[in-house]
Amino acid sequence: MKLTAPPLVCQQAVELMSDYLEGSLSRRDRRRLEKHLAACPHCSTYLEQIRLTIAASGSVGSEDLEPAALDDLVELFRRFRDDPDRG
Amino acid sequence: MDDAELLERLLAGDEKAFTELVVRYNATLIRLALYYVNGLASAQDVAQDTWIAVMRGADRFEGRSSFKTWLFRILVNRARTTGTKESRTIPVDPTDSGATVSAARFDGGGAWRVPPEPFTEAIDNAVANEKVIRLVHESIASLPEPQRSVVTLRDAEGLSTMEVAELLGLSEANVRVILHRGRARVRNDVETRMQGGES
């Protein structure tokens, strides 16, 4: 007889979610998690929020770059372009 | 315009292309440098050295990886050479069972007692979304290392786990554990601050 894995409880499920999104869970754990998620709205909310934070982290391109820092680099670029040996 | 195209123009002497790449990546370069060196000044120096290397075309970009992975690799090679942080201690304790959600939020059987609070009532509310984005970015910036670098490279910059592992000198398994902890922490921060009614 094939042993079935015990069902997950919420406290265990939350610890698998990042790996679930990474696609790095074993098939067995993935099935257990999906089964749990199908029955647990709270864990589904949790997963959705992890997804949302991941999406939000990539949504802003450039961070504030100090104008002075940018000026310095552009100055460097000009020096280099005009005289690559010195740059 | 994509990164590779900008690089080509940069090498042909186009200042605007250079500026655009600096705006896109300098902040991440400095943050990544801080993983390896002490102090903002050193990190800025390493970032500057990286741009010089790019201008020189010393390490040719051959499109085998994405432009940013190539760029970050140049930075890491330089930062490692600078290596003011002599021996980095990577605070990953394999014996740490590392629960990412406070045990107080579960009952004795492991079911939610204090379930996750929805970030916002209005899912499509653009203002609320903007706030979530800002809180996520603030939270990532406040993560301890190595979580900050891992989350930045994997989730904000979209590098693969393998690339992140290589850049930070970690195993892929470690990257996954650190990523898991970092993401859970960011989610928790956002939940707390959305509830706190911060503007």
B110: domain CATH number? 1.10.10.10
How far CA B110 is from CA of A14, A20, A41, B113, in Å, comes to: 11, 19, 15, 9
Same domain, B74 and B131: no
User: In terms of domains, do B183 and B123 share one?
Assistant: yes
pLDDT above 60 (res B34): yes
Number of domains in chain B: 2
Co-location of B24 and B78 in the same domain:
yes
Q: Tell me which chain A residues have a C-beta less than 8 angstroms from the C-beta of B40.
A: none
Q: At what angle do helices B3-11 and B15-36 cross, to 10 degrees?
A: 110
**What does the alpha-carbon distance between residue B85 and residue B70 come to, in Å, rounded to a whole number?**
23
A26 touches chain B (CB under 8 A): no
Rounded-to-5 percentages of helix, strand, coil across chain A: 70, 0, 30
Which residues, 6 or more positions from B76, have their beta carbon under 8 angstroms from its beta carbon? B32, B36, B167, B168
Q: Which two tokens stand for residue B52?
A: 């010089």
Number of A to B CB contacts under 8 A, please give it.
130
With respect to residue B150, please indicate whether it lies within any of the assigned structural domains.
Answer: yes
Structural domain harbouring B133: 103-195
Check B137 against A58: CB less than 8 A apart: no
Do B109 and B164 reside in the same domain of the chain? yes
Domain boundary among B52, B82, B112: B82
- Which among A46, A61, A64 is the nearest to B24, CB-wise? A61
User: Does some domain include residue B87?
Assistant: no
Nearest CA in chain A to B178: A18
Residues B77 and B109 in one domain: no
Residues B22 and B75 in one domain: yes
Q: Are residues B63 and B111 in the same domain?
A: no
Question: Does residue B92 form part of some domain?
Answer: no
> Looking at the structure, do residues B77 and B15 belong to the same domain, yes or no?
yes
Is B98 among the domain residues? no
Whole-angstrom Cα distance, residue B132 to residue B175? 25
Quick check: B65 pLDDT over 90? no
**Do B70 and B8 share a domain, yes or no?**
yes
Q: Which two tokens stand for residue B44?
A: 């800025």
Q: How far is CA B168 from CA A20, B68, B72, B91, in A?
A: 23, 15, 10, 13
Enter the DSSP assignment of A64. Answer: P
For residue B122, what are the CA distances in angstroms to B118, B128, B138? Answer: 10, 8, 22
> B133 pLDDT exceeds 60?
yes
Closest residue of B to A76, CA-based? B52
Give the tens place of pLDDT for each residue, B167-187: 999 999 999 999 999 999 999
Whether B99 and chain A come into contact, CB under 8 Å, resolves to: yes
Higher pLDDT, A62 or B7: B7
Residues B108, B141, single domain; the answer is yes
Do B114 and B185 have their domain in common? yes
Nearest to B183 among A11, A54, A61 (CB): A54
A78 SS3 class: helix
User: In chain B, which among 131-160 make CB contacts under 8 A with chain A?
Assistant: 132-133, 136-137, 140, 151-152, 155-158
The predicted model gives A43-61 an average pLDDT of: 88
- Over residues B158-168, the mean pLDDT reads 94
A34 at interface of B, judged by CB pairs closer than 8 A: no
The answer to the question of residue B16 being in a domain is: yes
Residues of chain A neighbouring B13 (CB-CB closer than 8 A): 81
CATH number, domain with residue B45: 1.10.1740.10
* Whether B42 and B71 share a structural domain: yes
Q: pLDDT tens-digit profile of B113-126? A: 999 998 876 556 66
Binding-face residues of B in 35-54 toward A, CB within 8 A: 44, 48, 51-52
Residue of A nearest to B99 (CA): A15
Could you tell me which chain B residue has the CA closest to the CA of A56? Answer: B133
* Domains of chain A with CATH codes: 7-59 (1.10.10)
Averaged over A31-49, what is the pLDDT?
A: 97
Q: Any chain A CB within 8 A of the CB of B26?
A: yes
Tell me what pLDDT residue A60 has. Answer: 54
The verdict on residue B148 lying in a domain is yes
Whether ipTM > 0.95 holds is: no
Gap from B87 CA to chain A (nearest CA, Å): 29
